[in-house]
Chain A
Amino acid sequence: MLKAEIYITLKKTVADPQGLTIKHALDSLGYKEVEEVRIGKLVTVKLNINDKKEAEQRLNEMCKKLLANPIIEDYSFKIEEV
């Protein structure tokens, strides 16, 4: 069995109002070094697949079809054996 962690983030060109708000909050807590904050989503999935290549292909499909919206979001994932 394989486990994948999928990261979904807003594209760099898309404004992230949540990230901006958290940046201001960190700033007011004294963390002046914070240059930028971007919020994203983490989706973990367990796959009944043993072949990593096949898993990659299936995950790419899932991300393009449902998990990420390509108009506003980018995705990446890493796969490990469990």
Chain B
Amino acid sequence: MKFGVVVFPGSNCDQDCFYVVKDVLKQPVKYIWHKDTELDNFDCIILPGGFSYGDYLRTGAVARFSPVMDSIIDFANRGGIVIGICNGFQILLESGLLPGAMLRNTNLHFICKYVYIKTENIKTPFTNLCKKNQILKIPIAHNEGNYYIDDDGLKSLEKNGQIVFRYCSPDGDVNKESNPNSALANIAGIINREGNVLGMMPHPERSSEAELGSEDGFLILRSILKWLGSK
């Protein structure tokens, strides 16, 4: 299965994503430059973390208008698998592929640490190898991860099972103490209504090998591969 990793000016997790797909997942992968407008026949596109365009104006606001984004929106609208990690999630929100917006972490700190997230929806291309409510240990590293959506939007996310991951305690309690950035309803990751676009703040590519402290993130990449293989 062919993966593409988009590189914006200021992306800094692109090489980690590329490495994990190529050397750990052992799948073909290519970089996609943000100025490209034609996409190869990719099966999955990864929008990596980083600080695209220096986070100027709002996170993801400028990257959203990179030439490649029209092709990615088209790819997503045709059912292509897209995963946005951290800054990639922020870009998906700005582009309208996912609903809601990001605010500053309420403590105004850049938070870089392992967190626990609960997998609430396992019927997705990204979580099909997880068990229902499985707790994953995956690191976050961001300044703007405080997810926001209005009341109706939240109800709609809940109703449609679009909340895939919520921050939780090591035992799986979804509570205030385990919410690192005060994200609404402890939201750490959501999918679109159609289920082919995932945005998540935690970094699965940084937790795909035991040597790095956790392999839980690799479940997400393996799930994508399994889903693509069984299509």
For the complex, give the distance between the alpha carbons of A72 and B65 in Å.
19
Size class of the B contact interface (CB-based, 8 Å): 10 to 19
Which segment of B103-111, B116-124, B134-142, B215-223 sits at the interface? B103-111
Asked if A17 and B100 sit within 8 Å, CB to CB, the answer is no
**Residues in chain B within 8 A of chain A (CB atoms):** 57-58, 61-62, 65, 94, 100-101, 103-108, 146, 148-150, 182
Residue A14 lies at the interface, judged by CB distance under 8 Å to chain B: yes
**Residues in chain A within 8 A of chain B (CB atoms):** 10, 13-15, 17-18, 21, 66-67, 69, 71-72
What number of A-B contacts does a CB cutoff of 8 Å give? 34
Beyond A66-B57, A72-B103, list 14 extra A-B contacts (CB 8 Å): A13-B150, A15-B106, A17-B103, A17-B106, A17-B107, A17-B146, A18-B104, A18-B108, A66-B62, A66-B65, A67-B57, A69-B61, A71-B148, A71-B149
| Cβ-neighbour of B104 out of A17, A66, A67 (below 8 A) | A17
> Which residues of the other chain, A, contact B149 by a CB distance below 8 angstroms?
71
> Which residues of the other chain, B, contact A15 by a CB distance below 8 angstroms?
103, 106
Asked if A72 and B104 sit within 8 Å, CB to CB, the answer is no
For the complex, give the distance between the alpha carbons of A14 and B58 in Å.
15
> Which residues of the other chain, B, contact A10 by a CB distance below 8 angstroms?
103
